A and B are shown apart, each in its own frame.
Chain A
Amino acid sequence: MAETILVVDDDLDILELLKMNLEPEGYKVRTASDGDSAVQSAGTDPPDLILLDVMMPHKDGFQVIEELKNIEETKNVPVILVTARGQTEDKVRGLDTGADDYITKPFDLREVTARVEAVLGRTRPIKYINPLMRAMGEGFSEEGLEQLAGHLQAAAAIQKKLLPEKAPNLDGFDIATLLQSSTSVSGDFYDFIPLSETQIGIVLGDVKGSGIPAALLMVMIRTALRLLCHEEDTPAAILKRINDLVARDTEADLFATMIYGILDTATSTFTYANGGHCYPLHWNNARSIDVLKTGSMLIGAFEEATFTTSTCLLEPNDVLVFYTDGITETAAGDAPVSDGNHSEPTNSEQDDMCQDAILTDTFYGGDRLAACLSKNAALSASALCEAIVNDLAHFSGSTQTHDDRALIVIKRDV
């Protein structure tokens, strides 16, 4: 879902110009040509950001900001003021009133885009965290969750933006990732957290349950992990802290499975703990596959759970594959996908297909994934990701997925 920007200006040409400039950047743009309609529009359906002209007849930009700050729905919406006057008093007054940034006319359109992106980048995490904090304060009550539903739906949409855009570049390692969501709210997630010159934290997880509570739990886990990975030394200690946090604050039927590990490029080791997640696969220098079976309890159901750390040495050309169960639980299709004009099955056909597959117990499974890895271990990390996706499509007869799928491939260079 695109982020929405409300552009307010009494000059219709400027409205049109900004709209034409911002829409290609992927934003949804709404316009208002005076202060009253701006307040009304923002109050009815709060945008993600407001670009607000200061000099308008009847009600100027400062008055609009003051009104917006007094409305619950709009008080946290970031505002960038736009004015023809570059006077310092205006800037100070604007920022005092609660504007987040300032653009002076005549403006360079590239500057507008850059400032919009900067302000959104700054306020996105706040929008994300505030509802989380309030919900935690209310002990994850149903009421609290319902109130937060609106915020969280927005958060879920932003979730994708928070995922690392691409895998990090590390000396001596080639990393590729994949994330496919079956719905707008993905339960699967991954993250890369730089820890030092030679160490990077890597997490892959799957939040169970569905809808808003699951999205909330995912935000909570990701935020906690980002903070804790600098406080605790071992992956087991980090998972333990996250488990305690989640177990205390959520219902038992809301939980997650996840792997957290530290890839050390100096020692070529991966040191990890596994909270109930699918076992990673390690293609080793003996040209065979080790299933990394050091595992512990899933995260968030039992306060007394304990966790174990294990280390795996990565030789040149070794490959590590982390995945979520959306990959291995892909159901078999009726027929392999054809290369030609293949029509996608309807939803109901797919459901039938899926259910038949479940009855006959034909899933992609860990063994097929291991076979695909063995066959393609010589490829680059991203080509290997692609090979797995193609194999899944071939197996299921569809490029669509019923479940979220996430995949991380780490390959040590020669």
Chain B
Amino acid sequence: MNFDTTIGKENISTLHIEGKILGNATDTFRKEMEMQLQTGHDKLVVDLTNVPLIDSSALGAIVTTLKSCQELGGKLVLLNPQKAVQEVLEVTHLSTVIEIYDTEESARDAFM
């Protein structure tokens, strides 16, 4: 897994992730999101366009971060999850509590 975080307008952080989020990669993923929160970025877009699969720990990391963002008055949204990831989000019903967007623009607009 590789990632690249960009901080854009309105202090919105976008995590572009490439590769599956499994095993050790999950720790990296979790820490990167924590880092964003610690540096005052509580508006997160997690770009899943290039993520074929995530494991349950990664799902847990997303849930924890989502809650932390909300407590801080911010938000976490997901961008463009692929079929396998989308299915997991639906079966677990996380899709009912996490905003999911198709395009980077609409994801950013979610914070306006």
On A, residues with C-beta under 8 Å from B are 208-210, 251-255, 257, 276-279, 295-298, 301-302, 305, 355, 358-359, 361, 363
Question: Are B64 and A253 touching (Cβ within 8 A)?
Answer: yes
Q: List 22 A-B contacts (CB under 8 A).
A: A208-B57, A208-B59, A210-B57, A252-B60, A252-B64, A253-B64, A255-B60, A255-B63, A257-B92, A276-B91, A276-B92, A277-B91, A296-B93, A297-B92, A298-B92, A298-B93, A301-B60, A301-B63, A358-B20, A358-B22, A358-B52, A359-B20
A296 to B94, CA, bound (A): 9
A251 to B61, CA, bound (A): 10
CB-CB under 8 A for A209 and B92, given A252-B63, A252-B67, A253-B63: no
Interface check B39, CB cutoff 8 A: no
CB-CB under 8 A for A295 and B84, given A358-B22, A358-B52, A359-B52: no
A355 to B19, CA, bound (A): 11
- The residue in chain B whose Cβ has the minimal distance to the Cβ of A305 is B93
- The residue in chain B whose Cβ has the minimal distance to the Cβ of A251 is B64
A361 to B83, CA, bound (A): 10
Interface check B56, CB cutoff 8 A: yes
- The residue in chain A whose Cβ has the minimal distance to the Cβ of B22 is A358
A70 to B53, CA, bound (A): 53
Question: Are B63 and A209 touching (Cβ within 8 A)?
Answer: no
The bracket for how many chain B residues form the interface is: 10 to 19
Within 8 Å by CB of B57, from A253, A276, A361, lies A253
Known: A208-B60, A209-B57, A358-B20. 14 other contacts (CB 8 A): A208-B56, A252-B64, A253-B61, A253-B63, A257-B91, A277-B91, A295-B91, A297-B92, A302-B97, A355-B20, A358-B52, A358-B53, A359-B52, A361-B52
- The residue in chain A whose Cβ has the minimal distance to the Cβ of B61 is A253
CB distance from B103 to the nearest CB of A (A): 23
Interface of B is mostly: helix
CB distance from A69 to the nearest CB of B (A): 41
- The residue in chain A whose Cβ has the minimal distance to the Cβ of B68 is A252
Question: Are B56 and A361 touching (Cβ within 8 A)?
Answer: no
Interface check B96, CB cutoff 8 A: yes
- The residue in chain B whose Cβ has the minimal distance to the Cβ of A298 is B92
B29-69 to A contact mask, C-beta < 8 Å, 1/0: 00000000000000000000000110011011101100100
7 closest A-B pairs by beta carbon, nearest first, are A253-B60, A208-B56, A276-B92, A297-B93, A298-B92, A253-B64, A252-B64
A350 to B53, CA, bound (A): 18
CB distance from B52 to the nearest CB of A (A): 5
- Which B residues touch A251, using CB under 8 A? 64
- The residue in chain A whose Cβ has the minimal distance to the Cβ of B60 is A253
A363 to B55, CA, bound (A): 14
CB distance from B39 to the nearest CB of A (A): 21
Question: Are A278 and B91 touching (Cβ within 8 A)?
Answer: yes
- Which B residues touch A296, using CB under 8 A? 93
A412 to B97, CA, bound (A): 37
- Which B residues touch A255, using CB under 8 A? 60, 63
A79 to B93, CA, bound (A): 49
- The residue in chain B whose Cβ has the minimal distance to the Cβ of A301 is B63
Within 8 Å by CB of B56, from A209, A302, A355, A358, lies A209
A208 to B60, CA, bound (A): 8
A121 to B108, CA, bound (A): 58
Interface centre among B63, B67, B93, B96 (most CB of A within 10 A): B93
- Which B residues touch A276, using CB under 8 A? 91-94
- Which B residues touch A277, using CB under 8 A? 91
A8 to B82, CA, bound (A): 62
- Which A residues touch B20, using CB under 8 A? 355, 358-359
A44 to B84, CA, bound (A): 49
Within 8 Å by CB of A279, from B53, B67, B84, B91, lies B91
- Which B residues touch A359, using CB under 8 A? 20, 52
CB distance from A246 to the nearest CB of B (A): 13
A111 to B97, CA, bound (A): 58
- Which B residues touch A302, using CB under 8 A? 97
A359 to B63, CA, bound (A): 25
Question: Are B84 and A363 touching (Cβ within 8 A)?
Answer: yes
B68-112 to A contact mask, C-beta < 8 Å, 1/0: 000000000000000010000001111011000000000000000
A51 to B72, CA, bound (A): 58
- Which A residues touch B63, using CB under 8 A? 252-253, 255, 301
- Which A residues touch B22, using CB under 8 A? 358
Interface centre among B22, B53, B92, B97 (most CB of A within 10 A): B92
- The residue in chain A whose Cβ has the minimal distance to the Cβ of B56 is A208
